Amino acid sequence: MSKNRNAVLLTIDSLRYDHTSMAGYKRDTTPFMSSILDQAVSYDLAIANSANTPGAFPTILTGSYLLGREDVPKLSGKRKLISEILKEDGFRTAGFHSNAYLSTFYNYNRGWDQFHDDVGGEAMDAEPEKGSSKRIKEFIKRHDSLHSLSTILYAKTKGLPIPFLTAEELNDMAMDWLKNIQHNFFLWVHYLDSHNPYYPPDEDMKAVLGKTVPKARILKLNSKLRKCNDIQDASTLSNEEVKELIDLYDACIHHSDRAINDIMDRIKGIGHYDDTIFIITSDHGEQFREHGNVYHPSQLYDEQMRIPMLVKPVKVDVKTLGTGKGFAQHLDILPTIFEALGVKGEGLDGISLYNSIVTGLNPPERKGVFSEVREGNVKVIAYRTLDKKLIWRENGKHELYDLVKDPPETDNLFGKGLEFEFDFIKAVEEHITGLKSRGDLSSAISGLKLKKKI
């Protein structure tokens, strides 16, 4: 451990890269994040290694592939959380969020000096108290039905029934902990304000839309959105309704950006800005009917897989700030933090971006990156290069896209005799073989048959 070095990981649920100001979006949804690009590197091709929260966070917080362990949705002891590693190295650790899938019930409470999940309460590295598993299961069940209850709650309260802790509440909790820490620390905060239901504050609607949307209309749109997700069919949404939902989503992103501004300013106020590496990213993106769905189903298309990733390095390390060109991925988060902190990490699947960030040199070259998810019981792996993507399925229903000619990923080229099809299938095969060779996959992935090169 290096002296006077800290790490802060800020994750924003459901934030897709192409709706951020860094991506050149038509709306200034992330003015603060854009304003710190003279101090931080923003990657223009950051890829999520899975499509949803249960799939992404085993990768984000352990640095290992999703399909590398058969432990989803509950995290097994085979994966060591960043909190466990850093606590063993002498760091104070704390995590704050209110996402049920990252709760004590799913074993994410390990290694924290303080952990608040709004489900199991303060874990404090302890075993869940007797009966808490039942309460958490009940919470998750309620969480999934909150949309249907929202109209009833609205009738009683005349307000928006936000089913999670707001960014402001989480920031207050985090700073209440941090202000008393006189030691090297690691802080993780996960924000749900960009996650559905989309209930943006008036301030953010005015900033992004130039107006506010009536609460009754917000509730109606979110209620219909929920029903579309329940049946996995968004065809009943009109084009105008999709546009209105995107309006709300964009305003929610602006709210998340304000939260990032707030917590970074407050950390600066207690004297820990310059000696801290900040990583800001998302667990996955969001669909708005691009591939027939809403929310973030188990699909590996770019609207869900391209995410923002900003890294603000420790100030004293910077010689020439990097450009953020090339791939970055969730798997790189732990190696990057560990290099900045002088901590040894072992068995990680990503690479550190830190040297390229602080020297301006090109990051280590890689041809492509892998993302993984489960569609029901079917394992799915995407292999993405700069210009092409293969979505491989265990059941043989593969998809292949030319991302230059077909950015929306609507023209499936698989089986059309293209020469690079074989190369991409081979890359996936080698990826699977690598996982198996480490003994990581307890159940073999079947169904992979290579075609001869044409």
Q: Give span(s): CATH 3.30.1120, the chain.
A: 377-454
The DSSP H or E segment spanning 375 is strand 368-375
Residue intervals of the chain classified under CATH 3.40.720.10 are: 6-366
* CATH code for the domain defined by 377-454: 3.30.1120
Residue 375 has a pLDDT of: 85
Predicted confidence at residue 122, as pLDDT, reads 40
Which of 300, 296, 292 shows the shortest CA–CA distance to 14? 296
Strands 276-282 and 6-12 turn out to be parallel
Cα distance between residue 434 and residue 437, in whole Å: 5
- What's the pLDDT score for residue 226? 87
Q: For 77-122, list the strands marked E by DSSP.
A: 92-96, 114-116
Cβ atoms < 10 Å from Cβ of 110? 18
Rounded distance between C-alpha atoms, residue 220 and residue 310, angstroms: 35
And the tokens for 28? 């200034």
Token pair in block for residue 128: 């869940």
CA 170, 145, 252 angle in degrees (round to 5)? 40
Question: Model-level pTM?
Answer: 0.89
Q: What is the mean pLDDT of each run of 10 residues along the chain (454 residues)?
A: 84 97 97 97 96 92 82 76 96 95 92 87 38 48 46 46 88 96 96 94 98 95 86 84 96 98 98 97 94 86 97 95 92 98 92 95 89 90 97 95 97 94 95 77 45 34
What's the longest Cα–Cα distance across the chain? 66
Reference 123, options 141, 138, 139, 103; nearest CA is 103
Cβ neighbours for 416, distance < 8 A, ≥ 6 positions apart: none
Q: Please, which residues have CB within 8 angstroms of residue 437's CB and are 6 or more apart in sequence?
A: none
Task: Give the bridge partners for 288, in sequence order.
Answer: 294
* Ordered alpha helix ranges (H), 50-118: 53-62, 82-88
Which CA distances in Å does 259 have to 263, 266, 369? 6, 11, 30
Question: Cα–Cα distance between 48 and 42 in angstroms, integer?
Answer: 15
Task: Judge contact between 50 and 298, C-beta under 8 A.
Answer: no
**Mind spelling out the 3-state secondary structure of 288-345?**
ECCCCCEECCCCCCHHHHEECEEEECCHHHCCCCCCCCCEEEHHHHHHHHHHHHCCCC
Chosen CATH of 6-366 out of 3.40.50.620, 3.40.720.10, 3.30.565.10, 3.40.50.300: 3.40.720.10
Q: How far is CA 413 from CA 81, 289, 401, in A?
A: 39, 21, 6
pLDDT of residue 68: 67
Interaxial angle between packed helices 215-230 and 239-269, expressed in degrees from 0 to 180 and rounded to the nearest 10: 110
Separation between Cα atoms, residue 138 and residue 140, nearest integer Å: 5
For 344, other C-beta atoms within 10 Å of its C-beta total 10
Nearest to 190 by CA among 250, 268, 245, 112: 112
